Amino acid sequence: MRRVSDRAEAFTDSVIRRMTRISDEYGAINLSQGFPDFDPPREILDALEKVVYAGPHQYSITFGAKNLRDALARKHEKTVGRQVDPETEVLVTCGSTEAMICAMMSICNPGDKVMVFSPFYENYGADAILAGAEPIYIPLVPPDYGFDIRLVEQGFREGAKAIIICNPSNPCGKVFLQEELEAIGALAVAYDAFVVTDEVYEYLVYPPYTHTCMASLPGMYEHTITCNSLSKTYSITGWRLGYLIGPAEIVEAAKKIHDFLTVGAAAPLQEAAVTALQLPDSYYEELRALYTRKREYMLTGLDRIGLKHNIPQGTYFVLVDIREFLELPQFAGYTDLEFCEWMIREIGVAAVPGSSFFHEEVNHLIRLHFARSEDTLREALKRLEKLAALIR
Ligand code: GLN
């Protein structure tokens, strides 16, 4: 019978990416899918220009160009304080998106349980289905999005093979404290389970919070698959460059999966990206300072116009509470998705409905991002003021 697979029918398209398409259709300011509207660092663009004529233009080594793997290994060595073998422990992927699905497919058998914090980045739901895993959701509780470690222990007791940690966390902006990671790590070791981390926002962390890499904690390297990307750190989301680093026997499995899924990431872009990894420490400080200013501008703006929101500890996302709007007669019966669609059409600003991130029934939050120039954020806030006027 000509019918698509149950697997393909088990999840929808990404609501995040769908909101970008709708936003483009209406010419709205897109604060839905998170990506910058400003240029990558000049050094990277210069490197890319050189690559155009000097190459490479053919396949790189499937597992990633050697010079890029070397650079990534050196970076990770500094973070984890131990040697990282670029030949056996590093895999270059097409974005952290591919790193995550490779990690999941490398460790999960059909029916295996995997813990996922809720709210979660929507890819993890599809990743679990594609890997045949069953998610166990651990709620992150507002306002600080803390969690009950006893639920994590219960998950491991029920046989969870792994736990996924997005740190800093999309969409709620939680930065996991070292103590929290140590507690989860101790359980993962005790139950001989894996930790899969997605650390793409590692540099977007706001004082007083600091980022701790799970694999850097004592005894955790052997249990952790670190997934990361160059997208956010170097403002090159369209280059689709990510990586996975972990113990050799797991990376060995991930390499095979990656090979047959994609063969490899774009060779010219890998070559240019080596330059990104050579940027001085001051680059990362400036990046943090840049986003700290954007966050301040956005949060102060939302306060001024009277929209309620969370305080993100990291990432470039903010969750806005739309409960008061949904109580207005004109929005009676609206889902958060319908509200976001209305917002694109009538307000000219695109957001992501919160329900796409929560396992629980949540209909009262929308996610905005602030990876935009100050002019764009000013215009977006001006438009959102029209929205806020409805509840004044
Ligand atoms: N991480 C970004 C977001 O959540 C974009 C991810 C993506 O679309 N690959 O909006």
CB distance 236 to 229 below 8 Å: no
Ligand 1 pocket, residues with Cβ under 6 angstroms: 16-17, 33-34, 97, 121, 170
Name the one residue in this structure whose structure tokens are 């990586």. 243
**Residue 244 DSSP symbol:** E
> pLDDT at position 354, please?
98
Tell me, in angstroms, the distance from the centre of ligand 1 to residue 316's CA. 11
**Given a cut of 90, is residue 149 above it in pLDDT?**
yes
How does pLDDT run across 201-217, given as a tens digit for each residue?
A: 999 999 999 999 999 99
Residue nearest atom 5 of ligand 1, based on CA coordinates: 34
Average pLDDT over residues 7-32: 96
- Determine the Cα–Cα distance for residues 161 and 110; give it in Å rounded to an integer: 11
**Residue 38 DSSP symbol:** S
User: Tokens at residue 290, please?
Assistant: 């840049």
Q: Are strands 224-229 and 242-245 parallel, antiparallel or unpaired?
A: antiparallel
Task: Please give the mean pLDDT across all residues of the chain.
Answer: 97
> pLDDT at position 63, please?
98
> pLDDT at position 61, please?
97
The full set of domains in the chain, from first to last, is 6-40+282-391 (3.90.1150.10), 58-280 (3.40.640.10)
Tell me, in angstroms, the distance from the centre of ligand 1 to residue 1's CA. 35
**Given a cut of 90, is residue 233 above it in pLDDT?**
yes
Q: How confident is the model at residue 1 (pLDDT cuts 50, 70, 90)?
A: confident
> pLDDT at position 204, please?
98
- Determine the Cα–Cα distance for residues 118 and 127; give it in Å rounded to an integer: 15
Q: How confident is the model at residue 92 (pLDDT cuts 50, 70, 90)?
A: very high
Average pLDDT over residues 329-351: 98
**Given a cut of 90, is residue 89 above it in pLDDT?**
yes
Residue 98 to residues 92, 170, 229, Cα–Cα distance (Å): 9, 17, 10
Residue nearest atom 7 of ligand 1, based on CA coordinates: 33
Share of the chain above pLDDT 90, in %: 99
Average pLDDT over residues 36-62: 97
Whether residue 353 has a cis bond before it, omega within 30° of 0? no
Taking the CA of residue 170 as reference, the ligand 1 atom at the shortest distance is 4
**Given a cut of 90, is residue 392 above it in pLDDT?**
no
Q: How confident is the model at residue 191 (pLDDT cuts 50, 70, 90)?
A: very high
Tell me, in angstroms, the distance from the centre of ligand 1 to residue 34's CA. 5
Tell me, in angstroms, the distance from the centre of ligand 1 to residue 205's CA. 17
Name the one residue in this structure whose structure tokens are 């006027």. 389
How does pLDDT run across 242-279, given as a tens digit for each residue?
A: 999 999 999 999 999 999 999 999 999 999 999 999 99
